[in-house]
Amino acid sequence: MKIALMMENSQAAKNAVVLNELNTVVQPLGHDVYNVGMSDENDHHLTYIHLGIMASLLLNSKAVDFIVAGCGTGQGAMMSLNIHPGVVCGYCLDPSDAFLFNQINNGNALSLAFAKGYGWGAELNVRYIFEKAFTTGERGQGYPLERAEPQQRNAGILNSVKAAVVKDDYLDTLRAIDQELVKTAVSGPRFQEAFFSNCQVPEIAEYVKSLVG
- Residues 139-178 have pLDDT tens digits of 888 888 888 899 999 888 988 888 887 767 899 999 999 9
The predicted pLDDT at position 165 comes to 79
Structural domain that includes position 207: 2-212
Rounded-to-integer distance, Cα 106 and Cα 182, Å = 27
The predicted pLDDT at position 158 comes to 87
Give the tens place of pLDDT for each residue, 27-66.
999 999 999 999 999 999 999 999 999 999 999 999 999 9
Answer yes or no: is pLDDT of 15 > 90.
yes
Rounded-to-integer distance, Cα 121 and Cα 132, Å = 17
Split into its structural domains, the chain has a count of: 1
Positive or negative torsion for Cα 91, 96, 98, 103 = negative
pTM of the complete model = 0.94
Identify the CATH number of the domain in which residue 74 sits.
Answer: 3.40.1400.10
Average pLDDT taken over every residue of the chain: 95
Beta pairing partners, 33: 3
Helix 15-26 and helix 122-134, axial crossing angle in degrees, nearest 10: 40
